[in-house]
Amino acid sequence: MGWFGSAPSKVSSVSEYKDEEPVEYLEDLPPKFEDQEPMKQKQLEATYAAAFSQIKLSDFKPSTFLNMPCFREAMITGFQSMGVLGVVTFLIHKNFSRAMNWGVGGFFIGNVISFNQCRAIRRKSLDNMKKAQEANHERNVKKWQEQNPNADDEQFRKWQEVQGKR
């Protein structure tokens, strides 16, 4: 039956193509690269000059700092502590230069404390995430072993590879 209910055609306009060329396998082809171990690079001595030569002016762009985790929160906290310490010191002592000194010191102290606190919270969160992933993996392994008691080691290895790619 064709598109509109007519009888199927008995002669096909498509002919069968027969490939006459021999099949080439990868093992039969010559290698593209030589099997050599990579050359060892010269070990550079760790010197201050070598370290400073790697620093570029583009490393200090604002976009570089804004992409750092915890930088924004640390800066906000630093500015807040600068404002609070500077204003309180000025209101108490009526000395502008003293208030500015306390404000700048408060900025740096607030910045450092906030940055370290944020990093500690972030590190703890990442540790908890890793523990949760390991517990989930162990639970999946137990579930696999319960569902497939007669599975061979090859199937289990393939299953673990798939689980590891997630």
Each residue's pLDDT, cut to its tens digit, for the chain (166 residues) gives 555 556 555 655 666 666 667 777 777 778 777 776 665 555 556 788 888 888 888 888 888 888 888 999 999 999 999 999 999 999 999 999 999 999 999 999 999 999 999 999 999 999 999 999 889 888 888 887 788 777 677 777 777 777 766 5
What pLDDT was estimated at residue 12?
Answer: 56
What pLDDT was estimated at residue 32?
Answer: 75
Q: What is the secondary structure of 106-164 as a DSSP string?
A: HHHHHHHHHHHHHHHHHHHHHHHHHHHHHHHHHHHHHHHHHH-TT--HHHHHHHHHHHH
Is the Cβ–Cβ distance between 80 and 108 less than 8 Å?
no
Q: What percent of the chain shows pLDDT beyond 70?
A: 79
What pLDDT was estimated at residue 45?
Answer: 63
What would the two tokens of residue 32 be? 């593209």
What pLDDT was estimated at residue 43?
Answer: 53
What pLDDT was estimated at residue 156?
Answer: 74
What pLDDT was estimated at residue 100?
Answer: 96
Would you tell me how many other CB atoms lie within 10 Å of the CB of residue 105? 15
